[in-house]
Structure formats: C-alpha cells, structure tokens
Structure 1
Amino acid sequence: MTSPTVNLISECYIKPPDDALSDKTNQPIHFTPFELPFLNFNYIQKGLLFAKPPPPENQDFSITAYLDDLRRSLSATLTHFHPLTARLATRKQQNTHSYVIYIDPENNSGVKFVYATVDVTISDILTSTDVPLVVHSFFDLKNAINHEGHTLPLLSIQVTELNDGIFIGGSLNHLIADGTSFWHFMAAWSETFRSKEQKRFFKRQALEGYDPIINLPFTHQDQFIKRFEHPQYKERFFHFSSATVSRLKAKANAECNTRKISSLQAVSALLWRCVTRVRRQSGVSTETICKLAINNRSRLNPPLSDDYFGSPIQLVMGTATVEDLMAHGLGWAALRLQEAVANHDNTAVEKLVDCWLKNPMPYKLSGLFHPNTVNFVSSPRFDMYGCEFGLGKALAARSGAANKDDGKMTMYPGRDGGGSMDVEVCLLPKYMMDLEDDDEFINALSDQH
C-alpha cells in the first residue's frame, strides 16, 4: 500500500524581530563532552497532532491566519532562543592541530518554517495498527545528521494540514538540545502563541573542571562522518494506563522487597524481558543489554540548571544473560535498571567524560543498535500535552524516522495523565508480531481495556 503524498506548499525562514537582538552576544557557543559525541546522530524529531476546530467554530478557522500566528509567535519566541537561528561552524588550524566545532551566532540564517498538506484524516493516523509511514513525512530534515547543521537549519518546524487536523512537527539538532530542551522550547513557543508571559530562555553554563573549547583530532569531516542506513522495521504505540503502570511498579518492588524501583524502570523491564524473549537470542549465556538515556543535569556536582539548554545526556546500561533475565521475574530485571540509574552519579559521569576526552571520536549511530539490545529514550515526564497552540490539547504525540532501528523504545506521557504512559516500540516485523502474542506482555496490558 502506497503512502499518501505530503505536498509542500511554502517554506520560509523565521528570525527574531530586528530590534530584539541588539543586546545579544555574538560569541561562539561551544559544545560539551556530552554533545560532541553525537555529531553522527540524527536530529530530534517530535511533534503534536491537533484537531481542527469542530463545527460551527471551524467556519471562522483560517489556515492562512493560523500560520501567520504561528510564524509571528515563533519569531517572538526566538528573541529568547536566538542561537537556534544560527548554524554550526568549524575552526581549523593546521599548525596547532585545532579542529573546533561550535555554534556561530553571527550566521543568523533563521529557523526554517514549512507548510504542507496531506489527504489523510486524524483517524487514519490514530486507528492504524502500525504508525503509518506518512507520519515520517510530517517532519523536515528527515535524514539529516547533526554535523549538517553547518549548512542546514538547527531547527525546522513543519506544519502539516490534514483534512481535519494540524500536525506541528519539530526537527532540532541533537547537539544543541536533548528531549528536555526540545520540550522546553516548545512550551515557550506555546506560551507566546497563547499571549502568556514567556518565562523560558536559552540558558547555557560552563561545566566546571573542563575546558570549554574541545579540539577534535581531525583535519577533515570525512575522518569521522559515518551515516546509518535504517532497516525496515515496524513501529507501534502501546498504551499503559495509570492502573497498569502502578500495578507493574508494585509487582516489581514486591518481588525485590524494596520501594526503590520507579514506574519507568518497571515498564522498561517488562519490555526488556518480552523483547528478549521474542527475539529468541541464541545461547542462554548470551548477554542482553537494556540502555536508558539519562539526563545528567542533576547528577553533576555542581548540578546544571534544570532549564540548561543543551544535550547533557549519556546512556546507562542494565545487563544480564538471557538465561538469568528469563529465569527471574519482572522485579529482578527492574532492579538491574534501578541499580544502573542509581550508580550513575557525578563520579560515574566524570569517568565516562574523561574516557571520551582521551579519544574524542564521535559515536556511530549503528553502534547504538545491536540484536541483543533495547534502547529507551525520551521520558513520560515531559509535558508534551501542555504545549497547546490555539487548538486545545493535542490528540497525540508522534516522532519522525530519526535515530530508529530494531529495539528502539520511545517513552511518552499518556494523554490522560495520572502516570499513564505510551511507548513507541520499533522492532523488526517478525518480532513485532510475536510481541503481541507474548503472554507476559498480553497479561500486563489485559486489565486496561
């Protein structure tokens, strides 16, 4: 079945008002040891699906006026996030072996703003078993890697008009922002759109104990750029009600006689076990790994501000043999994850940073994925549904094709709140089919329908 075509109608570049940047600095913004390793990764791609106003209100709805309001509020928001309008730059000096990548605020080329249309309905998106491929076309810069921010915009917004809805999708360079910062910006834009006082800003601060300027051991980008070819995978959303999440958390803690295991760790442990089972990994002594993307802001000493705008993330890992993971229960798996998170303190962060600085080579995206690995990113704590743009509460959050492969799990808050979660699961087709027949997985979700 062919995917509907998304039609590009217009595009432009948005900047802050001319008089808004007179007091802004044009000093380069340098990246940290958390951010530079991800030069080969794709942009963050997240967005929100809204319904158009229903009758009779929709008689007064004008897409032209709505787009004007979005552009105007985006421009005003960029007054406080002006580095997002810039581009990356590289300073090379052969005689000193200096190769420094940074944000160049003087290159104020703007944020890209795209308007597109597609002949699909909200129901087409939300009732499909798999996430329809057309959703990936709701995002600009589909295959861009972060290093391409030298010539591509650091942020691109695509507004796609459906027959009965509006999708607002953002593609944001992952060097300049993680999920925390992405939704920090979207909330600021939403506040501005709704004419509320904006209290969010682009905030950076130096990492104590580290040189703010990192020299990479290269003379040309070809020495470290490695692109990743995404395989064909299935992508589905699974909803965990607040009651289901509470039950899984209670079960995991009871099995280990503890109260330390979080809701996120319990849900992640369930998926780790079930995905490992349906993969039928050869050899019971084979190692299986569960990776969790973790926010380092509060783990550093001194800590970074909660509204630090950047990408201070690392991966922590729970490991086990297939035999042990299958022989023990949910709590045993969840406790492996809880311990991995608890042990990731300032000392552990510094050790990882110091190790990378000894050989500052950007990671390959292919290295994130492995047949024995599941990867959890994003967070159900992000206030995605608090971002409203004049159309009420979003119906759903979705993501693009970026940074995905077999075993990628993306966590979302449930739309109904209360601790509910949605998990976007990416698996090879044969594994996805078996996951939906897995007894442990079925039983975990069976009480919420």
Structure 2
Amino acid sequence: MSFPWAEAYKPKSGFTQWIDERLPLPRLVYGAIGAGYPVPRNLNYFWNFGVLAGVALTIQIVTGIVLAMHYAANAGIAFDSVEHIMRDVNSGWMLRYMHMNGASFFFIVVYIHMFRGLYYGSYKAPREMIWLLGVVIFLLMMATAFMGYVLPWGQMSFWGAQVITGFFSAIPIVGEPIRQLLLGGFAPDNAALNRFFSLHYLLPFVIAGVIILHIWALHIPGSNNPTGVDVKSESDTVPFHPYYTAKDGFGLGVFLIAFVIMAFFLPNFMGHPDNYIPANPLSTPAHIVPEWYFLPFYAILKSFTGNFLWIPAKLWGVLAMFGSILLLFFLPWLDKSPVRSAKYRPTYRTFFWVLVIDVIILGYLGQAHPSNWTVLASQICTAYYFAHFLIIVPILSRIETTLPMPNSITEAVLSGEADEAHPVGVSATNPAHPEPAKA
C-alpha cells in the first residue's frame, strides 16, 4: 500500500543528500518516526507509554554512567561512596535521586504499557514477536533493577541479595552452585558486589538493543489500535509526524513534570528507610521487602507455605514466581479469540479489570507483615492470577459472544466508537487528506 507521505525519502539539501548516500540515517529516521511511517489515526494516550519507556531508559543510562564514575564496588566503602555522591559530588544528590526514582517511573510506564497490550490484544497475530520481545525486556529490567538495588549496600540491599539469591538454592542439584556462582562465594560480599555492579552497568545497553529489535518488529505489521481492526485504506492512517510526535510531546511533558516533582520533593517516597543504614550481616531487618515493583511476585512467592507431593514449599514458591512471568510468553497462543480489543469483548473486559485489581492486591500483600489472613489472601490472588491466563482466557476465547466490530478504523472514528476523536488537523469530512492545523 502506497501512501502520499510514505514515498521514498528525498533529501533536499546537498549535505543531507551526501549523508544519506553514504549512511542512510536520515532515511531511517524518516521511515521509523517521521512522515514516512503511517500509523492508525485513532491511537489514544495509552500509546504514549512506549515512547515514555524509551525516555525513562535514557534517563537511567545517562545518570547511571555519571554515578558509576564516583561509585566504589567494594563492600567496605560502597555505602560511604554513595554518601560521598550525595554530599560531595556536584549535583550528585540530584543524579542519585533521578536514578532512584527513574527506576520506579520506568516500571510504572512499562506496567501501563503491558496492561494496555493485554486490554487491546496487542499480543495477537501478527504481533506475537513484538509481545515476546517486550516480555524479554521486562525480564531484563527486573534483573537490572535487582542488581542496582544491591549496590547502595544498605541493610535492605544486603539482605535483599541474601534472600533473593537464596531462592536459587531451592532448585535441586544445580541451585546451590548457581547461587554460589552469582555471589562469588557463600554470602554477599565483595565478589557479589562486583558482579552485580558489572551486570547492572551492562544490562541497560542490552535492554536498549532489545528495544531496537522491539521497534523493528513493530514496524513490520504496524501499530495496533483501540479497535483492533487492521488498517485497510489510506484513510485509516495519518503520518506519525507531526500528529503523534506532538501527542507524544504532550505525554512526555506530563511525565517529566511528575518525575521532577518526585525526584525533588518526594525522593525517598518509594524507597525503604532501612537502606540508609550500612549493611550489617549480623543484624537482620525486622521485615525484608523488595522494591515496590517486585511486590506482586514476592507475594506469589510467599503464598506457598506447605510442601506438596515431593516438592518443598520453597521450591513451589520459586517456580510460581518465575512461572508468573514466563506465562506471559505463551499468552498469544492461549488467547485464540479472533477479536483483539476488549472494547468488543465485554466478558473479557470484566475479567481484565479483575486481573488488574488482583495484581494491585498482590502488590499490597507483598509488603504486608505475614499473618494468617495475608497468607490466605495471597494464595487466593495467586490462584486467580494463574487461572486468568491458563483457564479463563482460553475458555473465553472460545465461548464469548463479542460485540459487532466496525468495518474500518475510519468508520469507528467517524461514528464516535473509537477511544478518541480524529487527531487535530485531520479532516473529518475528507479523512484521506490531512489538513493543516489552524491556530
């Protein structure tokens, strides 16, 4: 399909023509995020979060590189080096707070991005590879965040490393050797700190590489949209620039305002006060908890309290915790419904919101003090989480009665069915031809 704005890129100046002939970066940018990339005309603000995730990763890489110049990966002085950054390095406090809160904001936008994919069926054919690469990015993020949490070498850092790596010892035969390989010994110390620092520095660049593959895979079938209907004609699309670059710019402004407020006025709101106490192997904190973005999975881990068959409870918890993430890899084949968007799947939509509430409750239970009712609630929520993907979604995809779908994206937009009206500057009377926006 040939669109007027998707014709071959033709540099206008002699310099850009010289560059394009020898290194076609201008052509690549034009086709990837410029007027040469047609996108569905009805994308709502939930499609901003992919760009925001890229911005969050950039913030983490830039601040992380500067912080690494002043950090010492040595158990004897790691905590003091962080305090040195906070007190003595020019703007060091700002860089550290941006890096700390940047991790939380990165997970916030990625979680919203993933739930948007679940709601609108962005994991369905022909976009399975986009979803699979997204889950790989999520796993790499979790590994990077865990290793970064260890680096300040406070009480929660040390005991978090002790507890999390201890999970591997639950795996028969190979578990304990894997744990010793990760730690470089039998307990967190200099060797573990050096390993975690090296991997924490490296993995963001690996994430950036996988994101490039993620975007590349996206450009093959094109973006999904709130209706889930495929692009059928030129009138269903608008060029990415200027319509969605402006929309992404607005979303980026809101994101940065929230980020700056958190970094400057509430920098420790999402942290744990025990991590401002130097690591002490002889003093166990009263309540060991991971960062907030790991809490749902931590609740799943803690929900297994008894042995079953020949498998101990600890191993069941570890298998369930990792399985809750690995399960997402199989989602494109578990949901066989031909309808993508939950807008036209009323029963699925109800269960989707139940899943959202379930994950939020798991997050609360992950940080709650253990008691009979919190363990029972964790077990119920864990059971529903797995039932949602393994039982409810496959059954619904076969028996659910869906609502009538529009014949095209344009029909949905003009009839008011889409999540939002046509973008500013696009003619509703003649949608095939964008009009210049009026002041």
Same fold by TM-score, threshold 0.5 exceeded?
Answer: no
Under a length normalisation based on structure 1, what TM-score does the superposition of the two structures give? 0.24
Give the number of the structure whose alpha-carbon radius of gyration is greater.
2
Q: Which has the higher strand share?
A: 1
Under a length normalisation based on structure 2, what TM-score does the superposition of the two structures give? 0.24
Q: Which has the higher helix share?
A: 2
